[in-house]
Structure 1
Amino acid sequence: MALPLMPRDKILSGLDEIREAADLLPGLPMIRLLEYFDKNWMLDIDLWNVYGFDSRTNNICEGYHNRMNSRIYRNHPNIWHFIDFMKAEEKRVQNIVLQ
């Protein structure tokens, strides 16, 4: 669904078009998906609508997680290893801010 890319004032009409198309499909999977979407996501459209945003992806977050995972060196670090990593990360960010 491309609803997150639509202007906020067009989302409801776009969702109605998707519902009409879903009614023509056999079985219930699409209808169940739309029920789930209504129940969980239509309550706060601003949470997921990215119309007009310059960056529409979470690539920055994914890049940070990749960096974090590569620096921790373990799949399941113990709490002490994780705390040491977080301290080092805090120092790194402080240095960036000071520059």
Structure 2
Amino acid sequence: MFRVLEADPSLVIVDFEKSVELAMYAVFGPHVQIQYCFYHLTQSTWRKIQALGPANQYQTDNTFRIFCGQLDALAILPPNEVLEGMQHLKDTMPDDAIPLVEYFDQTYVSGQLKLKQPQQQQQQDRETVAPIRIRRIPPIFRIHNWNMHEVTLAGEARTNNINEGWNNKFSSLVGHQHLSIWKLIVCQRAECARVTGAFLQYDLGVRPKKR
């Protein structure tokens, strides 16, 4: 007999994908807490370093490497100190790190400043110069979603590596990529049977063996 599980999570750890965050809110409601994976934050920073060019400097210059690591370390600060920490990095950044710092600040911390288009002027005011208006666009990923201060103090998970482990295990079960829908159904049924058996063993007091 299969157990019916009603999913109503209070916390969901996801990769840095805005569409996934919006989907979680749509499915589970606005009460769910979205936490972005710290590992994927560091990977995103590393990919940006490679894209911008200073990857060789990162690998050979210890001072530059430590500075880049401090960007990711902003996640460990209390949320109300992240802006101050970001400003400190701006004040001390080497010239080669300017594009990286600007990217990190715009994407995760301060957002961007954009010119606001002036409204259409009336006929009699066309000779009057319209004032320049600038508005701040919030960062794509908000600080409280990727901040790890409380999570670290509580000793809780900062990554979704356990899910990545299941993905790898299921990939091994499937055996190859681009499988047919029928093969996928067979593999999903096998995985459901395995999980159901694990639930039954747990109910009977049988704990899985440690590796």
Instruction: Quickly name the TM-score band, shorter chain normalised.
Output: 0.7 to 0.9
Structure 1 counterpart of 2:179: 77
The residue correspondences of 1:10-29 to structure 2 (distance < 5 A) are 10-22=81-93, 25-26=95-96, 29=99
Choose between structure 1 and 2: higher strand proportion: 2
Larger Rg: 2
Calculate percent identity across the aligned residue pairs: 29
Contact preservation (8 Å) 1:50, 1:56: yes
The question of 1:98 aligning with 2:98 is answered no
Question: What RMSD over aligned residues (CA atoms) do the two structures have, in Å?
Answer: 2.2
Choose between structure 1 and 2: higher helix proportion: 1
Task: Report the 3-state secondary structure (helix = DSSP H, G, I; strand = E; otherwise coil) of the residue aligned with 1:52.
Answer: helix
Supply the distance in 2 between the matched residues of 1:32 and 1:52 (Cα, whole angstroms).
25
Q: How far has the Cα of 1:60 moved from its partner? A: 0.8
* Structure 2: tracts of 5 or more residues without a match: 1-70, 112-138, 202-211
Task: Report the TM-score, using the length of structure 1 for normalisation.
Answer: 0.75
Greater length-normalized contact order (CA 8 Å, ≥ 6 residues apart): 1
Structure 2 counterpart of 1:62: 164
Deviations 1:27-77 (A, max 9, x none): 852223422333212x3x232122232222332122111111111101221
Count of matched residue positions in the alignment of Structure 1 and Structure 2: 96
Partner residue of 1:50 out of 122, 136, 148: 148
Contact preservation (8 Å) 1:3, 1:14: yes
* Structure 1: tracts of 5 or more residues without a match: none
Task: Report the TM-score, using the length of structure 2 for normalisation.
Answer: 0.40
